[in-house]
Amino acid sequence: MTEQTSTPGPAPAENFGRVGEDGTVYLRLPDGSERPVGQFAAGTPEEALHYYAGKYNDLSQSLELTATRLADNKCSPRDALAVAGKARHALEEPAFIGDISLLMARIGQLEVLAHIRQQILEEERKAAREQAQQAREAIVVEAEQLATSTAWKQTGEKFRELVDQWKALPKPTADQRELTDAQWERFRTARRTFDKARKIHREEQDKRRAAAVAAKTELAEKAEALADSTDWQNTANAFRELMEQWKKAGFAGKKDDDALWQRFRGAQEKFFTARKDTYNARDSEQKENLAKKRALIAKAEELLPVKDAKAARRAFREIQGEWAEIGHVPRADKRKIDTKLRAVDDAIRSAETAAWRRSNPEIRDRAQGLVDAYRASVTKLEAALAAAKESGDEKKIADAEQSLNQQRLMLESAEQSLSTL
């Protein structure tokens, strides 16, 4: 059976010291020599060795703990080197006992680890500074692209974001300062270009808004002056024209625009509400008038057919008087009822004309004379037609028939006129 062996650990610190008869505590050095590290007269030699060995152990543990924290990134290389430097300083005038060679080795290891870690950090910082430099360049390029933007609000906010991004980057090193200053100047130039253009835009916008305020104030005043008008059609046209001017006046800013619109709209609503109320009342009145005039038309139509023209005319004049007093009716019905009333008037007028003709002997005599003349002409043309037929001349026959037919029609019309007298 093979016996397992283990690597022995470091010797106890007490093994590297002794206590003299006078209480002096000595440290055994690696070269075999000794040097005093202190006095301990209050206790036993073992207690003295234990006390001074404890100081060594504290120092050794401090080195081990610092190395662990350094490896875990919980300690900076500078602090680690400070701990190692403090330990080396303690070796110059040791006040402890323990393995000096082991302690020096641990100090050396900590210093090596600290330098390695320091180098790593330097490389990381260098990479971070290079990345920061690239990030600054990207910020500058973006700022230069934004310099001519007209999206004023969004671009202004973006410039503020870029400034915050710039401030969040690591500070440049001395050798980066010149390039960083040049980049910052480019950034400032881009921002100044944008700010100047935005200022000009705002000044122009203020001028446009001031002009719009003046124009809309004038329009609101004109609208208010028209609000109480009862010239419905012309005023309505005037309001439509004012509205077209309002649309072209431009934006006066939300606060002023809203206030002026309330004035303009209020005047407009006052006028159109009054017009609507008036029209509604008028429509109601005109409907009543229509009903009255329809009743008069029915009364007038009772005069037909006309039996006594004079009596019918007297009754119709009374109806016309009532008609005139009634007033307007809806436009859509006016022509229809006027036509109906006119038809009655025409019928009465025709009856009056016929009665007059019947009562006038001169007219009857003229009508009788006209009938006699047409009869004589027809008799003469009948003889001419008979002669043409005996001759056999087709043309003469056709002409005679045409002339005879015309005279017969004229005779028939004259006889009908005579019969009405």
Domain count of the chain? 5
DSSP 8-state class, residue 28: E
> Quick one: pLDDT band at residue 361, thresholds 50, 70, 90?
low
Which of 421 and 229 is assigned the larger pLDDT?
A: 229
Q: Are residues 348 and 272 part of one domain? A: no
- What are 215's two structure tokens? 């124009």
Is pLDDT at 353 greater than 90 in this prediction? no
Show the domain range for 341. 285-358
Position of tokens 């590297």? 16
Q: Are residues 104 and 37 part of one domain? A: yes
Q: Are residues 312 and 262 part of one domain? A: no
* Final residue before a domain boundary, out of 124, 140, 175: 124
Q: DSSP letters along 31-78, please?
A: TS-EEEEEE--SS-HHHHHHHHHHHHHHHHHHHHHHHHHHHTT-S-HH
81 found inside a domain: yes
pLDDT in tens, 4-45: 444 455 668 788 999 988 889 999 998 889 999 998 877 888
**Sheet (strand 24-28) strand order:** 17-19, 24-28, 34-39
Residue 6 confidence (pLDDT) = 45
Is pLDDT at 363 greater than 80 in this prediction? no
Residue 132 confidence (pLDDT) = 86
N- to C-terminal Cα separation, the chain: 171
Q: Are residues 411 and 318 part of one domain? A: no
Q: Are residues 233 and 219 part of one domain? A: yes
pLDDT in tens, 204-223: 988 988 999 999 899 899 99
Q: Are residues 84 and 31 part of one domain? A: yes
Long-range contacts formed by 231-236: CB under 8 A, 24+ apart: 232/275, 232/278, 232/279, 235/271, 235/275, 236/271, 236/272, 236/275
Residue 420 confidence (pLDDT) = 65
Is pLDDT at 2 greater than 60 in this prediction? no
149 found inside a domain: yes
Residue 421 confidence (pLDDT) = 59
Q: Which amino acid is at 265?
A: R
Q: Are residues 184 and 233 part of one domain? A: no
5 found inside a domain: no
Q: Are residues 116 and 17 part of one domain? A: yes
Residues 6+ apart with CB under 8 A from 125: 170
Q: Are residues 103 and 18 part of one domain? A: yes
7 found inside a domain: no
Strand 24-28, strand 17-19: pairing: antiparallel
* Final residue before a domain boundary, out of 187, 205, 223: 205
Residue 185 confidence (pLDDT) = 93
155 found inside a domain: yes
Is pLDDT at 277 greater than 50 in this prediction? yes
| Partners of residue 24 on adjacent β-strands | 39
Mean pLDDT of 300-328: 89
Q: Which amino acid is at 103?
A: L
CA distance 105 to 346: 143
8 found inside a domain: no
Residue 7 confidence (pLDDT) = 46
Which helix (H) or strand (E) element contains residue 19? strand 17-19
100 found inside a domain: yes
Residues 79 and 64 sit within 8 Å (Cβ to Cβ): no
Q: Are residues 120 and 21 part of one domain? A: yes
CA distance 137 to 165: 12
* Final residue before a domain boundary, out of 223, 254, 281: 281
Q: Are residues 271 and 314 part of one domain? A: no
Q: Are residues 171 and 120 part of one domain? A: no
Residue 64 confidence (pLDDT) = 93
Mean pLDDT of 264-271: 91
pLDDT in tens, 70-80: 999 899 999 99
Residue 371 confidence (pLDDT) = 81
190 found inside a domain: yes
